[in-house]
């Protein structure tokens, strides 16, 4: 079974600064997807960024980028130019390439933005 670990329960960053959230995972599969989801107080899970394991290039979406290290099974999220609206819980998630595509989540990191 796959597991996802987020070792930082809470993080904080000054507005406009950069912050990196950590995630490690364990799997015996070679093909899979990794995701970062944002959950604001509204509880709505919002997809921030995804990475296909077969792609060597790190995914980027505007101010969000990942550092994907497949051999180390590490998948960190970097948020640049942090904004007040980035404050939320962030969850790292894993999905197999095949099967029913259910997601396996980490326990989350609560990100606080300091004005």
Partner 1 sequence: GAGVSQSPSNKVTEKGKDVELRCDPISGHTALYWYRQSLGQGLEFLIYFQGNSAPDKSGLPSDRFSAERTGGSVSTLTIQRTQQEDSAVYLCASRSRPSGTYNEQFFGPGTRLTVL
List residues near partner 1 by CB under 8 A.
4, 6, 33, 42-45, 47, 50, 52, 91, 93, 97, 100-108
Q: Nearer to partner 1 by C-beta: 28 or 98? A: 98
Q: How far is the CB of 16 from partner 1 (least distance, A)?
A: 29
User: Contact at 8 Å (CB) between 104 and 4?
Assistant: yes
Look-up: residue for tokens 């960190």?
Answer: 76
Q: How far is the CB of 85 from partner 1 (least distance, A)?
A: 18
Q: For residue 73, what are its two tokens?
A: 């099974």
Q: Nearer to partner 1 by C-beta: 13 or 93? A: 93
Q: Nearer to partner 1 by C-beta: 27 or 80? A: 27
Specify the DSSP class assigned to residue 28: S
Alpha-carbon distance 110 to 101, whole Å? 26
Q: How far is the CB of 108 from partner 1 (least distance, A)?
A: 6
Residue 32: count of CB within 10 angstroms of its CB: 19
Q: Nearer to partner 1 by C-beta: 17 or 40? A: 40
Alpha-carbon distance 73 to 83, whole Å? 29
Q: How far is the CB of 97 from partner 1 (least distance, A)?
A: 8
Q: How many residues does the chain have?
A: 115
């Amino acid at each position: 079974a796959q597991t996802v670990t987020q070792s930082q329960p809470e993080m904080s960053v000054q507005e406009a600064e950069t912050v990196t959230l950590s995630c490690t995972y364990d799997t015996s599969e070679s093909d899979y997807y990794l995701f970062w989801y944002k959950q604001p107080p509204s509880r709505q899970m919002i997809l921030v960024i995804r990475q296909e394991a077969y792609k060597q290039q790190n995914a980027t979406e505007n101010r969000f980028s990942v550092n994907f290290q497949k051999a180390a099974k590490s998948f960190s999220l970097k948020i640049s130019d942090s904004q007040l609206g980035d404050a939320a819980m962030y969850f790292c998630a894993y999905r197999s390439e095949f099967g029913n595509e259910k997601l396996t989540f980490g326990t989350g990191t609560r990100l606080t933005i300091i004005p």
